[in-house]
Amino acid sequence: MSHNHSHHQHSSKNLKIAFFLNLGFTVFEFIGGLYVNSIAIVSDAVHDLGDSLSLGTSWYLDQKSKKGANNKFSYGYKRFSLLGALINSIVLLIGSTYVIYEAVKRLIEPEHSDAQGMILFAIVGVAVNGYGAWKVSKGTSMNERVVSLHLLEDVLGWVAVLIVSIVLYFYDNNYLDPALSLLITLYILFNVFKRLKETLFVFLQGVPKDIDLDAIKNSVLQLDNVASLHHTHLWSQEGENHVFTTHIKLKNITEFDQILTVKKEVKNILQEYKFHHYTIETELDAETCELNDDN
């Protein structure tokens, strides 16, 4: 328990540092992007704004998740961490749409960018986002993974800005900056849609991809005195902590100890999967499940 508590505090501290670092740099980036007239830097500022929101939400929800279960949220607050990934994805979709609009305008009506200023911003961008990505790279939740990947994308984006700005310094081409902005934004959108799909899958209580539900069912059905399973459900709270429930129809039960043995054997199977929570309902041969037989 002390290890988990220490890891939780460490994670919260890293998110806090990364949040303030990223938020401060985002403001600096917006101002600088307008100053050097670079739509590529402005596009990355929009991306960083989404990262800042995600980091802030992740930090807040990290604190919130310390609260245990209560009458309002019987499973606790772990599922709240999904909100950070969802909110961040929506912000990035809106921001990216704006950036694409501005970049297309620049391609139609090219404008000169300050290459020397872009080089300085790119160097700072690689350093700041690289440090932020490193601080949250050890996160295990869905939200932390989303934040870490976004910050890593920022580093790659700034490397691209640095390369283009060096080219512009020696060869002035007003189309390079908006073209780079479009490439960065399209790459961001591709990953946003992919993560949004993953987040919605968890929200809709899809079966976690890292667990084979059929394998669990088959293992339980191999046990003595197990006739069948129904109302078997598996979902995840936030992409990391999974929940499992099932009804087991028993057979050839003559003693109460046989029921206890079956339960113990089923629990031994489930413990291999490190479930955050599981519920096992047993029913005797003559019993009829009061719930609908459909899963």
Share of the chain above pLDDT 70, in %: 81
Going by pLDDT thresholds of 50, 70 and 90, the confidence category of residue 266 is very high
Query: Rg (Cα) of the chain, in Å, rounded?
Result: 25
Pick from 15-29, 112-126, 134-148, 206-220: least confident: 134-148
What's the confidence (pLDDT) of residue 165? Answer: 84
What's the confidence (pLDDT) of residue 106? Answer: 78
In this model, does residue 4 exceed pLDDT 60?
no
pTM above 0.75, yes or no: no
Pick from 2-6, 210-214, 222-226: least confident: 2-6
Alpha carbon distance 4, 83 (integer Å):
22
What's the confidence (pLDDT) of residue 155? Answer: 79
Task: Give pLDDT tens digits for 74-88.
Answer: 777 777 777 777 877
Structure tokens at 71: 């009458």
Contacts (Cβ under 8 Å, ≥6 apart) of 171? none
* Distance from chain centroid for Cα 182: 24
Nearest to 245 by CA among 222, 229, 224: 229
Going by pLDDT thresholds of 50, 70 and 90, the confidence category of residue 39 is confident
What's the confidence (pLDDT) of residue 217? Answer: 94
SS3 letters for 192-203? HHHHHHHHHHHH
| Averaged pLDDT of the chain | 79
In this model, does residue 170 exceed pLDDT 90?
no
Contact present, 39 and 106 (Cβ < 8 Å): yes
In this model, does residue 6 exceed pLDDT 50?
no
Q: Where are the beta strands (DSSP E) in 195-276?
A: 226-236, 242-250
Contact present, 186 and 195 (Cβ < 8 Å): no
Angle at the Cα of 277 from the Cα atoms of 272 and 279, rounded to 5 degrees:
95
In this model, does residue 1 exceed pLDDT 60?
no
In this model, does residue 7 exceed pLDDT 60?
no
Going by pLDDT thresholds of 50, 70 and 90, the confidence category of residue 152 is confident
